[in-house]
Structure 1
Amino acid sequence: MFKQLNKDFPASIVVFFVAIPLCLGIALASGAPLFSGLIAGIIGGIVVGSISGSSLGVSGPAAGLAAIVLAAITNLGYENLLLAVVIGGVIQIGFGFLKAGIIGYYFPNSVIKGMLTGIGIIIILKQIPHFFGYSNDPQGDWAFFQVDGENTFSEIFNMFNNISPGATLIAIIGMTILILWEAVLSKKGKFFKLVQGPLVAVAAGIIYYLVTRDSETLAISQNHLVNVPVPDSFDSFIGQFTVPSFEMIGTLQIWITGFTIALVASLETLLCVEATDKLDPHKRTTPTNRELFAQGTGNVMSGLIGGLPITQVIVRSSANIQSGGQTKMAAILHGFLLLISVVIIPNILNYIPLSVLAAILFLVGYKLAKPSLFKEMYIKGWKQFVPFIITIVGIVFGDLLIGIGLGLGVGIVVILIKSYQNSHFLHIENQNNGNKTIKMTLAEEVTFINKGAIIKELNKLESDSYLIMDVRKSRYLDNDIIEILDDFKIKAAEKNIDIEVISERGTIKNPDSYQQFFELEKKPA
C-alpha cells in the first residue's frame, strides 16, 4: 500500500477537502449533531478503508440515508438512533457472511453509468448557489425537494438576486487555479504533481478570507465558511462523543430502523462499488461480500461513539480517482486527516470558503457527467440510452434509490421485450402448390414471458400449412409453453396443419403430447 504513497497522499488531501463540508452538511440535513458527521467520516476512512477490499472506494456519511436518520431521531431520539446504527452494522456483517454482495453484479451497465451521471449533475446543480455565495442550505441537502420548502432549481433562481461578490470572486479564482493546475502546471514538473490544485485553491481561499474580512463589498460572511465544531478543552472535545442507549434493544421499532439502515446502506454501497470499479483505470474488482463486512464493522463502531451511518460514497470515491489515488491508503489517510484536523486545527478549517469547495466539486461533477457520455450512450441504441436517461431523471428529481429503481425497472422491461421477440425464429422455408412450409426454431430457454409471441405466430398460420418445429437448441420449456402447444393441436387439426417436431433424437410428426415429448427429449437415455 505504501508503494504508491506519492500519489495516494495528494489524492487523500483532495478527498479530505471534499469530505469536510459533506460530513457537516449531511449531519445538519439529518438533524444530528455536526460532530456525528465527522465521526462517520473518520470511521469510514480509517476503519472501513483498512478492512475493505476496495482499492479506490471512500466511505463516510451518505446523503441517501439523511431522511431515514432524520425520521429516526424525530421518533426515537438520537441515542436510540445510534443503537439502530449498531444493529444495522451487525445485520450488514451478516449480509457479508451470507454472501449477499453478489446482488451488486445484477445492475445493468446503463443504470450504473446513469447513476454516475445523475450524481454528477446533482453535484453541479447543488453547488451553483454555494459557488455564488448565496445558499445557506446544508451541503448534504441533496434531495430535489429540500427541507426548507425550496427545490434544486428554485435555489438557483433565488441565487441571481443574492450573489455575494466576495464568495463569487474567490470561487472563480479557485476554479481558475484548478483548471490551470490540471491542464498545464501538472505537466511541468514533480512539484505540481505532488502538490494538488485543490490544496492550492483552498489555501488561496483562506488567504482571501483573512485579507478581505474587513471589506464591506468583498468580505465573505461567516455562514459561507466551513463550520467545524471547536471544543474549548479536552473535556469538551470528549463530550462531543455520544454512546447509544441499549435500554430499547428489545423494541421492534429499533430493529425495523436498524434493518432499514442496513438494507439501504448495503444497496448504496454495492451500487457505488460497481460504479467505482468502472471508474478505476486499472479495472480492479472489489470483493463485495468483504465490502459489506467492512461497512458493517464501520457502522457498529460509528454507532458506538456517536456517528452517523456509513456507506461507500461515489462523490468521495470519484474525487479520489480523479485526483490520482492508486490504493486504499488514500481513503485511510483522508480519515486520519479528518481526525487530525478536528483535534488540532478546527479554527483554520473554519476559514475555508464554501464557494472554493464548490469549485472543487464542480470539476468532480463535470467529470462524472461529461456531455460526450450522453453521445456515447445514444450511439449504443435505445436499449442502453433509455435506462441511462431514466436513471438520471430519477436521481435528479428524486434520490439515488428512486433513480436506480426506475432505471432497473426500465432495464427489466427491455429484457422482457427482447425475450418476447427472441423466443423463436419463424420463416417460410418454401412454397409448393400454394401450401406453405414454415419452420419455427425455439430458443434455448422459452418461458411464460414468450407466450404472447408464440400464440400470435401460431394463430397466423394459414390452413393446409406444414409447420416444422425445431427444438434441438431448447434446454428449458416452461409448462405454459407446453400447454400452448398441446392446445394448438386441436386448432391445427381443424385447419389441416401438419406439425413435424425435430429433436435431438429424431423427428416426430403430429405428436400426441408435447409434455411427453419434452420429457422424453430431456431425460438421459
Structure 2
Amino acid sequence: MLRDTKSSWLSTLRHDVPASLVVFLVAVPLSLGIAMASGAPLAAGLIAAVVGGIVAGALGGSAVQVSGPAAGLSLVVVDLVHTYGWRATCMITLLAGAVQLLLGVFRAARAALAVSPAVIHGMLAGVGVIIALSQLHVVLGGSSQHSAVANLVELPGQIADLHGHKVAVGLLTITVLAVWTRLPAAIKVIPAPLAALLVAAVTAWAFGWDVTRVDLSDSLTEWAFPVLPQGDWHLVVASVLLVALLAGCESLLCCVAVDGMHGGRRADLDQELTGQGVANMVTGALGGLPVAGVIVRSTANARAGARTRASTILHGVWVLVFAIGFGWTITLIPMEALAALLVFIGVQMVNLGHIKKVHGHGEVPVYVVTLAAVILLGLAEGVLAGLALAALLALRRLTWVTVLKRPDKDGRLHVTISGSLTFLGVPRLTHELRAIPAGTPVDLDLNIDFMDNAAFEAIHSWRLDHERMGGTIDIDELHDEWYTLAASGARMFPVKSPPVAPDRWWLPWAQRHRRPGHRMVPSIGGAMRVECQLTAGAREYHRRTAPLVKPIFSELARKQQPTHLFITCADSRIVPSLITASGPGDLFTVRNIGNLVPRRGSEPHDDSVVAAIEYATQVLGVHTITVCGHSGCGAMAGVLSAGVQAGSLPGLRRWLRHGNHSLATFIETEGGRLHSGALDVLCRVNVQQQLENLRTYRKVDEQVRAGKLELVGLYFDIATARVHLVPPLRSTPSVKMHDRRVPAGEE
C-alpha cells in the first residue's frame, strides 16, 4: 500500500506537475482575454479559471479535461451583462450550475451528445467571427460596436483613423502568435499566448508607447453576493437554460474529444456534468464567468503528459497564487494586446478541419446556417436555427426513398426500393411504380428497414393493379419481411430493422434469409415444382451480383493472369476465395481429395495435378504455389487407417497411396504415437509433405532455387475459422519468410 502511494506521488511529480504549469501559462492570458470579450471584470476570468481547475477538476468525470472561461459563451455573457448587470449575471451562472447539477444527477448527459456537431461547430465559428470583428476595433485603437454587422460597416472608417502605438502593439501581438508555431520546439515550450503578451508588454514599456493599460489592482478583493435578475422571469429562465445547456454541451463534446488523447480511464459524462454544475454554482457565487470544458487547455494538458486530475487541480492553484501574489503584473499588459489575442482566437475558432468533417457528412448547410444566424441574429437564435435545419435534414434522410429500375435482357424489369418507407415517401413511391408499363414482369427488391401502413398500402395496391393487368411481380425482401407480415395481417414491428448486408453470398443456402430451394416454379406440364438450388442460386447471381462484377469479367475475358496456384482439398467447407479474401482472376485452383501432389514418377500415375502445375508455372507464370490443408480431413483419416476407412472405394484407396509419404513423415516426427490430436497433426504434416513433393519436379525446384517461385503451406482450422501458416520441412531462401506465425488476427 505504501509502495503504491509512493508510486502515485512520483507519477504526479513527474507528469502532472509539469503539465499543470503548462496549462497555467496558457490559462492566464486566455482567461483575461475572454473576460474582456465578455464585457465582465477581468478578475472574473481568473476566478473562473481557478474554480474550473480546482472544483470541476476535482469533481468532474474526466482525468485530463481542463475547465474554465470559454470563448463560446462570451456572447451570452455580453448580452446578459448588458441586460441585467454583472451581479445578476453571476446569479444566472449560479442557477445554470444548479440546472447542470440536476441533469447530471438524473443521468441526462448522454442526451447532450444528440446535438449535431455541425451546430456546435457553426456556433463556435460564428462566435469567433463576432469576437474577431469586435476586438479588431480595439486593436485599431477604437471601440467595438453593438453588433457584428455594425462592426463590419464601421471597419473601413476605423482603419482610416489609425492610432499608431495601439495599432503597433496589436499587430506585434498577432505577429508573435502567428510566427510562434514555426519556431524550434525548445522555444515553443513557452505557450504562444503568454509569449505574445510578454513581447507586447515589454516592447510597449521599453519604447514608452501610448497604450491602454489593464487595471486589476483591487478587483479580486471587491466582492458582493449575486443578486436576482430583474425583469420578465420567462426571459430569465430562458437565459439560465441557455447558459446551462450551451456550457454543458460544450463541456461534454470537449470531454468526448479529449478521451481520445490519452490512455487513461474513460470519462464519466454524468459525473462530468455534475462537476461542471457545482463549478458554475461556485464561480457564480464568487463573481466569476461561466465555466465549461475548454478544448485548447484540455489539449495542452493531454499533450503535456498529464496522467490524472491532479494536473487540472494544480493549474487552478497556480492561477490562484498568481492572482493573489502577482496580480499587479497584469497592469503591464496593454489592452490592445489582449484584444489582438482575442482576434487571433476568434479566427482560429473558424476551424477548417470542422468544415471538412461536416462536408463529408453532408451537413455544411447546418454549419453555414448556424454560423450566419449567430452573426446576424444572435447566439440563441443561431443555435435554434441550426438545430431546426439539422432536424429537417435528418427527417429528410430518414424518409428518403430511392427507386432504381433496371431492365434485364430477358424482358424482366428489376426494381429496387431502398430506404425507410413512411407516408412521407408515398407520393414519390407511387409515382415511380405507376410509371411501370402494364404487363411487365417485375422483380421487386425491398431493401428497406421500416414500412408503415401508408407505404404498404401503396405497394400492395400497385401490385394488385399490376397483376390484374397481366403483369407478374416477384417480391424479395432483404431485411425483415415487412411486406409479407403486413399482407398476412400479422402485427408489425414497432422499430426499424437492424441493417443486414444484402449480398451474403458466403452463407450456406440453408442459412440465407431467402432460401432458393424453396422457390416454386411452373414445370412444362403446368404443375409447380421446387426449383433446383443451383439454378435458383444462378438466378440470384444474375439479379444481384452479375451487374456488379461485369466490368471485372469484361477485362478478364481477354486473358487470365493469376499470381497464385492454389492446391486444396475438395472438401465442401473450404472456400478458397473466402479464406484468402481473393477475387476473380487471382487464384489458379486445383482441388482434389486430400490436397495431394503426386511425387514425380509415383504410382498410380496421375497427370491432372502435374498438368496444372506445369501450366501454372510455365505458361501463366505464377509467383506462388500454395498447398492448403484443413482440420478433420477425411482423406487423412483414410491414410491414418491404412486405407481401411476407404471401404469399398477402390479408386479412393488407390488415390490415397499418394499420402503414404505424409504418413511416413508423421510416424517419423511423432514416433508412431496415436493420440486424440493425431489426425490434425497429420493434416498439417501432409501440407508440409506436399510442398516437398512439389520439389520433385525439376522446373519447380529450379524456379524455387532461383527465387522466382515461392512455396507456401496453409492450414484451415474449420471449427475456429482460422488460417495458419505451415512452415516447410526444409528452409530455402525463397521460402524462409514463411517460417513464422500468421500475424495477429490470422493465427
Same-fold call, TM > 0.5? yes
Q: Does 1:311 align with 2:330?
A: no
In the alignment, which residue of structure 2 is the partner of 1:448? 423
- Matched with 1:130 is 138
Report what 1:208 is aligned to: 203
Partner of 2:32: 20
Asked whether the equivalents of residues 126 and 370 of structure 2 are also in contact (C-alpha less than 8 Å), the reply is yes
- Choose the corresponding residue for 1:458, options 433, 441, 453: 433
Alpha carbons of structure 1 residues 309 and 258: separation in structure 2 relative to 1, 3 Å:
farther
- 1:174 and 1:401 map into 2 onto residues whose CA distance is 32
The answer to whether structure 1 residue 59 and structure 2 residue 86 are counterparts is no
Q: How does 1:118-197 map to 2 (within 5 A)?
A: 118-135=126-143, 144=148, 151-184=150-183, 186-187=184-185, 189=186, 192-197=187-192
Contact 1:7-1:194 within 8 A present in 2 as well: no
Q: Are the aligned partners of 2:399 and 2:421 in contact in 1 as well (CA < 8 Å)?
A: no
**CA contact under 8 A between 1:56 and 1:325: conserved in structure 2?**
no
Alignment match, 2:194 = 199
Superposed displacement of residue 95, structure 1: 0.9
Normalising by structure 2, report the TM-score. 0.54
SS in 2 for 1:428: strand
- State the partner residue of 1:234: none
SS at the partner of 1:350?
helix
**How far, CA to CA, are the matches of 1:417 and 1:270 in structure 2?**
25
Counterpart of 2:96 (choices 88, 96, 112) is 88
Q: Is the 8 A contact 1:88 1:259 kept in 2?
A: no
* 1:227 alignment partner, one of 215, 230, 233: 215
What amino acid does structure 2 have at the position aligned with 1:426? L
- Corresponding residue SS for 1:69: helix
Structure 2: distance between partners of 1:401 and 1:326 = 35
Match of 1:266 in 2: 245
The 3-state SS of whatever aligns with 1:195 is coil
Inter-partner Cα distance in structure 2 for 1:265 and 1:230: 30
Query: CA shift at 1:19, angstroms?
Result: 0.7
2:35 maps to a residue whose letter is C
Give me the whole-angstrom Cα distance separating, in 2, the residues matched to 1:505 and 1:377: 31
How far off is 1:36 after superposition?
A: 4.9
- 2:110 is the alignment partner of 1:102: yes
Q: Considering fraction of residues, name the structure with more helix.
A: 1
User: Kindly tell me: are residues 179 and 323 of structure 1, through their superposed partners in 2, closer, same or farther at Cα, counting changes over 3 Å?
Assistant: farther
Moved more, 343-352 or 358-367: 358-367
Maintained 8 Å contact 1:181/1:197? yes
Q: Is 1:428 aligned with 2:399? A: no
Q: Could you tell me whether the CA contact under 8 Å between 2:402 and 2:417 is conserved in 1?
A: yes
Q: Give the match's secondary structure for 2:292.
A: strand
Q: CA deviation at 1:240?
A: 1.6
User: Aligned in 2, Cα 1:252/1:370: closer, same or farther, shift over 3 Å?
Assistant: closer
Aligned with 1:106: secondary structure? coil
Whole-Å separation in 1 of the counterparts to 2:170 and 2:51: 30
- Correspondence list, 1:334-413, <5 A: 334-369=315-350, 376=356, 383-413=362-392
Retained in 2: the 8 A contact 1:108–1:408? yes
Decide whether aligned partners of structure 1 residues 345 and 127 sit closer, same or farther in structure 2, where only a CA change above 3 A counts: same
Q: Offset at 1:377?
A: 5.7
**Counterpart code for 1:241:** A
The separation in 2 between residues aligned to 1:168 and 1:82, in whole angstroms, is: 33
Q: Residues 308, 279 of structure 1: CA spacing in aligned structure 2 closer, same or farther, 3 A cutoff?
A: closer
Q: 1:496 to 1:108 in 2, by over 3 A?
A: farther
TM-aligned CA deviation for residue 481 of structure 1: 1.6
Whether the aligned pair in 1 keeps the contact of 2:412 and 2:440 (CA below 8 Å) is: yes
Check conservation: 2:403, 2:432, Cα contact below 8 A. no
Which string of whole-angstrom CA distances, capped at 9 and with x for unpartnered residues, describes residues 434-490 of structure 1?
Answer: x753433454x433343233222222222223344444x545322332232344356
Deviation at 1:100, TM superposition (A): 1.9
Distance between the aligned counterparts of 1:399 and 1:307, measured in 2?
23
Checking the alignment, whether the CA contact within 8 Å between 1:65 and 1:265 is kept in structure 2 is no
Contact 2:406/2:413 (<8 A) preserved = yes
Task: Indicate the SS of the match to 2:161.
Answer: coil
The reply on whether 1:484 has 2:451 as its aligned counterpart is no
Counterpart Cα distance in 1 of 2:382 and 2:144: 26
CA distance in 1, matches of 2:238, 2:389: 27
Which is further off, 396-405 or 200-209? Answer: 396-405
The answer on whether the counterparts of 2:259 and 2:267 sit within 8 Å (CA) in structure 1 is no
Cα displacement (A) at 1:367: 4.2
Q: Which has the larger radius of gyration?
A: 2
Shift of the 182–113 alpha-carbon distance from structure 1 to 2, 3 Å rule, reads same
Matched, 1:292 2:280: no
Listed one character per residue, the Cα deviations across residues 206-238 of structure 1 (whole Å, up to 9, x for unaligned) are 33343444xxxx311xxx33233526xxxxx65
Distance in 2 (CA, whole Å) between partners of 1:520 and 1:366 is 53
The residue that corresponds to 1:73 in the other structure is 84
Is 1:24–1:38's contact at 8 Å kept on the other side of the alignment?
no
User: Residues of 2 paired with 1:169 and 1:67: CA distance?
Assistant: 27
Moved more, 493-502 or 340-349: 493-502
Gaps of 5+ in 1: 146-150, 232-236
What SS is found at the alignment partner of 2:113? Answer: helix
Structure 1 CA distance, aligned partners of 2:298 and 2:200?
A: 23
Alignment-mate amino acid for residue 68 of structure 2: S
Q: TM-score, normalised to structure 1's length?
A: 0.74
**What is the alpha-carbon distance in structure 1 between the residues aligned to residue 467 and residue 151 of structure 2?**
65
The separation in 2 between residues aligned to 1:283 and 1:182, in whole angstroms, is 23
Question: 1: distance between equivalents of 2:319 and 2:65?
Answer: 18
Which residue does 2:56 correspond to in 1?
48
Structure 1 residue 241 and structure 2 residue 224: aligned? yes
Cα shift at 1:20 = 1.1
Q: Distance in 1 between matches of 2:169 and 2:396?
A: 53
Kindly indicate whether the alpha-carbon contact (under 8 Å) linking 2:252 and 2:273 is maintained by their aligned counterparts in 1: no
Q: Deviations over 1:110-138 (max 9, x none)?
A: 4454445444444443332233332267x
The structure-2 alpha-carbon separation of the partners of 1:241 and 1:484, relative to structure 1 and needing over 3 Å to count, comes to same
State how far apart, in whole Å, the 1-side matches of 2:239 and 2:378 are: 16
| 1:287/1:260 CA distance change after superposition, 3 Å | farther
> For residues 372 and 124 of structure 2, what CA distance do their matches in structure 1 show?
12
CA 1:386–1:111 in structure 2 vs 1: closer, same or farther (change >3 Å)? same
Cα root mean square deviation, aligned: 4.3
Query: Which residue among 2, 18, 22 is the counterpart of 1:10?
Result: 22
Q: 1:459 is aligned with what amino acid?
A: R
Could you report, residue by residue, the CA deviation over 1:300-345 in whole angstroms, capped at 9, with x for unpaired residues?
A: 223333445433456x648847995856666545544543344334
Between the aligned partners of 2:380 and 2:158, the Cα distance in structure 1 is 29
Q: Where does the alignment leave 5 or more consecutive residues of structure 2 unmatched?
A: 1-11, 496-747
Q: 1:176 to 1:73 in 2, by over 3 A?
A: closer
Give 3-state SS (helix, strand or coil) of 1:160's partner.
Answer: helix
Q: Using the TM superposition, give the Cα deviation of residue 262 of structure 1 relative to its aligned residue in structure 2, in angstroms.
A: 3.5
Secondary structure at the residue paired with 1:183? coil
